[in-house]
Every structure is written in C-alpha cells, then in structure tokens.
Amino acid sequence: MATLLFLALGAAFLTQIVPYRQILDSQHRVSAARAELTALEEENARLEADAAALRTEEEVEKLAREKLGYVRPGEVAYVILDPPASNRPPAAPPAEEAELPEERTWVDMVWDFLTGADLGR
C-alpha cells in the first residue's frame, strides 16, 4: 500500500514539473522581451532626436564641415594628418586566463531543474 501511495505521489509530482517549467520559461521570455522593448524605445527616442536635429540648418552645416570638409567661399581649410605609424608590430594584448567551468553536483543540477534556474543559463 505504501508503495502504491509513493508511486501515486511521484507521478503527481512529475506531471506538475513540466507545466511549472513552462510557466517559468514564459516568465523569463516576457522579462527578456520587456528589457528588449525598453532598449528599443530608448534607441528610438535617441534616433528621433538625431532626426529632429538634422532638420536645422546649423546641424546640417556642422555635419557638412565635420564629415565632408566643406568650407564657405573665402575660408581656408587645413587638414591635419596623423603621424605615420612605426614599423613595429603592435603589442599583443595580455592573454586572459581561461575560466574553468563551475563544478556542480548532481543535486545542484536537479534543484536547478526543479526550480527552473537552469532556464536562464
């Protein structure tokens, strides 16, 4: 009788894991979508401000002078060149230490599976 009760409780527990993990996964995707929406709204506001600035004569002239080197009649343009690079090859960046994967026990992995912590990795 105890075995049958244990099996019934185990089956009930296992049938609840899948819906629970789906709910956790859905919540994670909603959070990620909200973060992406916020970033896109901020970028959209920045781009709209840039577009509004381009509608002014002063901004167009400033960009023409900076990017294209335009000058007004009678002005003298000067070009400043960077000094030539030396023949030495650039120094190699320091090698970063390889990070070792975190050692996890099977108990930690099962707990992460049950709580949905492995969905965010």
Alpha-carbon separation of residue 32 from 36, 42, 76 (angstroms): 6, 16, 53
- The per-residue pLDDT for 31 is 94
Do the domain assignments include residue 31?
A: yes
Strand, coil or helix: what is 103? coil
Do the domain assignments include residue 83?
A: no
60, 68 Cβ separation under 8 angstroms: no
**Polymer length in residues for the chain:** 121
Do the domain assignments include residue 82?
A: no
Do the domain assignments include residue 64?
A: yes
66, 72 Cβ separation under 8 angstroms: no
105, 14 Cβ separation under 8 angstroms: no
Helix intervals (H) in the chain: 2-53, 57-68, 106-115
Q: What is the pLDDT of residues 14-48, one digit of tens each?
A: 777 778 888 888 999 999 999 999 999 999 999 99
Do the domain assignments include residue 40?
A: yes
Q: What is the pLDDT of residues 48-82, one digit of tens each?
A: 998 998 899 998 889 888 888 888 899 888 888 88
44, 52 Cβ separation under 8 angstroms: no
- The per-residue pLDDT for 96 is 67
Segments forming the whole domain that contains residue 27? 1-70
Do the domain assignments include residue 104?
A: no
Q: Provide the domain count of the chain.
A: 1
Rounded CA separation 39/17 (Å):
33
Q: What is the mean pLDDT of residues 103-111?
A: 84
Do the domain assignments include residue 119?
A: no
Looking at per-residue pLDDT, the higher value among 61 and 117 belongs to 61
Do the domain assignments include residue 60?
A: yes
**What one-letter code names the amino acid at 1?**
M
